Structure 1
Amino acid sequence: MATATAYGARDHARAQEGARVEAMPTVPASAWPEETPGQVVWAEVVGGGNYTHRVLARGTELRLTDLRGDACAHLLLYADGRPWERLNTADTVKVRWNAYLREGAQLLSDQGRVLATLVADTSGRHDTLCGTSALARNRRRYGAGEPESDSPAGRELLKLAALKNGLEPRDLPPSLSFFQGVEVREDGALEFTGTAGAGGSVTLRAEQDLTVLIANVPHPLDPRPAYVSTPLEVLAWRSGPTRPGDPLWDASPEGRRAYANTTDFLASRGIA
């Protein structure tokens, strides 16, 4: 075999330079072929049943796109360097008086501060209630849920992403899900509404320096017996945070206070 020796393995590895597959990062991100509103700092296609992570600076905009209609982006956010300040789905819902994410929503921590703002949404099929899939569930449903299996659970992948950022399993709160919808019926039962179709996207604006964890796996309420998960495009570029005078800042009294809490806290750190 050509790879039976260290020299053969080296030559084989070097021969792969420049080769591309659909699901992989673009490095450097500035080589991304499409135009964006600002300098690209993260460009990647995440395959179904896989995960990614990155630290993004305040003011960066992050766009997630469901390329084929069966991606489901399970998202966790942390204030970078302060992992105890993390996405709180309960407060995100409570402050909006609405469990359904829409354009203009603030994604909050339990400190009453904004981690990110949903500035654009062409999908409208999201979920704040169910979190991601777990190992035991996937074993029952698909026969396996380990990261190396053909049906990895979202929590297992988020654990790996967390460990690569100095976080532990205990640091994983409930996640948000983009591109697969859930509605609450009048009797309180949850109804899976599925995807809006290929090409839907959401754009988030980082209001603080953020550690971002994403697992692209089927939604836990997806009724299909097969493990169906298609590629997710992740693209981020330099922009700026939400500031007073922006319509999003003044869209509601609760949101205005959350933005004010955020900038007041950052100002004391010499950031805002």
Structure 2
Amino acid sequence: MITKYLESSLKEEDACYVEDVAAGKGWLHLIKKGQIFRILDLKGNQAVDTLFINANDPSERYSVQQTVQRQANCLVGVGTKLYSNDDNVMLTVIADTCGDHDTLGSACSCESNTCRYALEKRYMHACRESFLKVLLETPNLDKRDQVNNLNFFMYVPFDEQGNLNFADGISSPGKYVEMRAEMDVLAVVSNCPQLNNPCNAYDPTPVRMIVWDKESV
């Protein structure tokens, strides 16, 4: 059962890792099995595009198809199990103060900037570029590892006909989503630079990555 708005008891001062990621920047970090990973929306309405890769076998990655099918739900919230292309659970969402995270819209790209907005927007920075830069800087990873991603804090409602709509964000400063790693995973993030989409109020802002060891939980 997927629910919303379950707060965490973990405190930032007890974390083993804390880093702020500027808007438009990429980030990659190893989250070990049993560790807790939180993404904190510092200023509100910031879309955080995220991939997960099995740290011990890069051919196993987050799968939107398996996740949606298993949950029978197109949105991510507390209780969501994030599945891989090998049908294994990679992470479980255990706390969330925002809710309704998107897992269908995928990442913005130069091509989507052109199609959605205008021809002259093609050369604006996009999440796929941030993903690619981080992946190419990491041994044993490349463009093939850039699969469909989650969009934390991005609100993409869909109607009864299944149409998706990019809407104003529903997050606010201090909202977060928290996951427990069920295997060693590489978390790969593009903190969205999108200036044309209301999801971040046309103002991309930093986000904070926080990790706790399982001994701290």
For the criterion TM > 0.5, the same-fold answer is yes
Query: Helix, strand or coil for the counterpart of 1:235?
Result: strand
For 1:248, the equivalent position in structure 2 comes to: none
**Kept after mapping to 2: 8 A contact 1:61/1:205:** yes
Q: 1:57 corresponds to which letter in structure 2?
A: K
Q: Distance in 2 between matches of 1:158 and 1:173?
A: 10
After TM superposition, the structure 1 = structure 2 runs for residues 13-24 of structure 1, keeping only pairs within 5 Å, are: none
Quickly say closer, same or farther: Cα 1:52–1:224, change in 2 above 3 A.
Answer: closer
Is it true that 1:173 corresponds to 2:151 in the alignment? Answer: no
Please, what TM-score do these two structures have when normalized by structure 2? 0.83
Q: Distance in 2 between matches of 1:210 and 1:224?
A: 27
For 2:13, the equivalent position in structure 1 comes to: 35
Quickly say closer, same or farther: Cα 1:99–1:208, change in 2 above 3 A.
Answer: same
Shift of 1:179: 0.6
Q: Which runs of 4+ in 1 moved over 3 A?
A: 138-146, 218-221, 223-227
State the identity %. 30
**Kept after mapping to 1: 8 A contact 2:108/2:194:** yes
Is it true that 1:210 corresponds to 2:188 in the alignment? Answer: no
For 1:104, the equivalent position in structure 2 comes to: 79
After TM superposition, the structure 1 = structure 2 runs for residues 98-247 of structure 1, keeping only pairs within 5 Å, are: 98-138=73-113, 141=117, 143=120, 151-166=124-139, 167-193=141-167, 194-217=169-192, 222-223=197-198, 227-239=202-214
For 2:65, the equivalent position in structure 1 comes to: 90
Match of 2:21 among 46, 54, 73: 46
- Structure 1: gaps of 5 or more residues: 1-32, 241-272
Of 104-113 and 194-203, deviating more is: 194-203
Q: Deviations over 1:148-170 (max 9, x none)?
A: xxx42101100111112221112
Query: Helix, strand or coil for the counterpart of 2:157?
Result: strand
Q: Distance in 2 between matches of 1:50 and 1:107?
A: 24
Of 58-67 and 183-192, deviating more is: 183-192
Higher relative contact order (CA 8 A, sep 6+): 2
**Kept after mapping to 1: 8 A contact 2:196/2:202:** no
For 2:6, the equivalent position in structure 1 comes to: none
Q: Distance in 1 between matches of 2:20 and 2:12?
A: 14
For 1:29, the equivalent position in structure 2 comes to: none
- Structure 2: gaps of 5 or more residues: 1-10
Q: 1:152 corresponds to which letter in structure 2?
A: H
Shift of 1:52: 0.8
**Kept after mapping to 2: 8 A contact 1:125/1:196:** no
Instruction: Number of aligned residue pairs: give it.
Output: 201
